[in-house]
Amino acid sequence: MKTPPKNFYIGRAEIIANNDKLTDKARQSIYIARADNTINAYQSDWNDFCDWCEYHEVDSFPALPETIINYINDLADNAKANTVARRISALTENFDAAGLKDNPCRFPIVKNALRGIKRMKGTIQHGKMPILFDDIKEMLTYLEGNDLQQTRDKAILLIGFYGAMRRSELAGLDIEDLQFTRLGLLITLRKSKTDQYDQGQLIAIPYVQNKEVCAVTALKNWLTLSDISSGPVFRGFTRGHTIRKTRISDKTIALIVKHYAGLMGMDPKDYGAHSLRHGFATSAAQHHVEERQIMRQTRHKSQTIVRRYIDEADRLIDNPIFKITENK
């Protein structure tokens, strides 16, 4: 991890180590309470706040409630309401970790200011458009490059879709995470966004009858053609079109999805790697798959998000317009 910025207390090992009232076992549980990615995000948020305070010549630590309010209102000029709320959360956590008796972020005046920003800007998140099952089938007809690239891209698109995988999960796959069975494929995610304690998550992808859209078959074809038997599953290519030893980046996966969306005549900026995950959930909802089954495959912890996908599908399937326009 990077050296923490000044007055950043979240995850500070020396503070925990110097607390002689804690046992070694208690210290260890605190050390691993937050994932490194979370701490790094909090550091970035804290740095932004400190830079703003320095520019406006006000104290960042300890900070006044009015300083927090002025900061988030300036931030709101170019950020979404949810981003502002996340930034407040990071500041709150840091002031708490520092042991401040009067955390400025917890003052009612700050909470009211945040509530006002949410009312003014709204909290609707405009995510990437979903790539539905019919889109996937069409997308596979636009595969480009030599046999190696086409085979790899097909496996990425199908595994990403059926597995409802995040781009970091796809990029992070190793051969050792795969278990092929008579019925299909079991993927073990050893680290995921919603698995902060590294307990591991299991994704099941069965064989499907139509081999052209079978993710398990596509992945087997890629591993056979690439002769990859260990290490990263999905890799990039050199200028000489040979396979690299290093794994593909999650950004590259997003670019692959955008590229093929563009070839289909869709606006690439509306699509990304998340379109595969979003598209699976929406497609499942369109086919009236039970919420519980969708959540098992997508590994969503929140019913709210999955229900949003279901509602999105229902708006076009169970639309009253059909009843109005039906021929009697």
User: Digits of tens for pLDDT over the chain (328 positions)?
Assistant: 445 567 888 866 555 555 666 676 665 555 444 556 677 788 888 999 999 999 999 999 989 999 999 999 998 887 778 888 889 999 998 898 888 889 999 999 999 999 998 888 765 555 688 999 999 999 999 999 999 999 999 999 999 999 999 999 999 999 999 999 999 999 999 765 554 545 678 999 999 999 999 999 999 999 999 999 999 999 999 988 899 999 999 999 999 999 999 999 999 999 999 999 999 998 988 888 888 899 999 998 777 778 877 777 777 677 777 777 776 5
Top-level class of domain 13-121? mainly alpha
Instruction: Point out the catalytic residue in the list 128, 274, 278, 299.
Output: 274
| Alpha-carbon distances, residue 143 vs 149, 155, 260 (angstroms) | 8, 11, 8
CA dist., res. 262 & res. 167, Å (int): 19
The structural domains of the chain, with segments of one domain joined by +, span: 13-121, 133-317
| Alpha-carbon distances, residue 135 vs 154, 264, 301, 309 (angstroms) | 13, 9, 27, 17
Q: Tell me if residue 119 is catalytic.
A: no
Secondary structure class of 210 (helix, strand, coil): coil
Instruction: Point out the catalytic residue in the list 111, 119, 193, 245.
Output: 193
CA dist., res. 179 & res. 158, Å (int): 17
Burial of 112 (0-12, 13-18, 19+ CB in 10 A): exposed
Instruction: Point out the catalytic residue in the list 152, 258, 277, 299.
Output: 277
Which residue type does 33 have?
A
Which residue type does 258 have?
K
> What residue ranges in the chain does DSSP mark as E strands?
178-180, 184-189, 201-206, 235-237, 243-247
Residue (of 142, 146, 155) closest to 243 by Cα position: 146
DSSP symbols for 47-83: HHHHHHHHHTT---SS--HHHHHHHHHHHTTTS-HHH
Q: Tell me if residue 166 is catalytic.
A: yes
Residue (of 200, 198, 310) closest to 302 by Cα position: 310
Answer yes or no: are the C-beta atoms of 282 and 312 closer than 8 Å. yes
Instruction: Point out the catalytic residue in the list 166, 235, 258, 299.
Output: 166
The separation between CA 63 and the C-alpha centre of its own chain, rounded to angstroms, equals 32
List the beta bridge partners of residue 180: 185
Q: What's the CATH fold of domain 133-317? A: hpI Integrase; Chain A (1.10.443)
Residue (of 82, 5, 85, 75) closest to 39 by Cα position: 5
Q: Tell me if residue 193 is catalytic.
A: yes
Residue length, the chain? Answer: 328
Q: Tell me if residue 2 is catalytic.
A: no
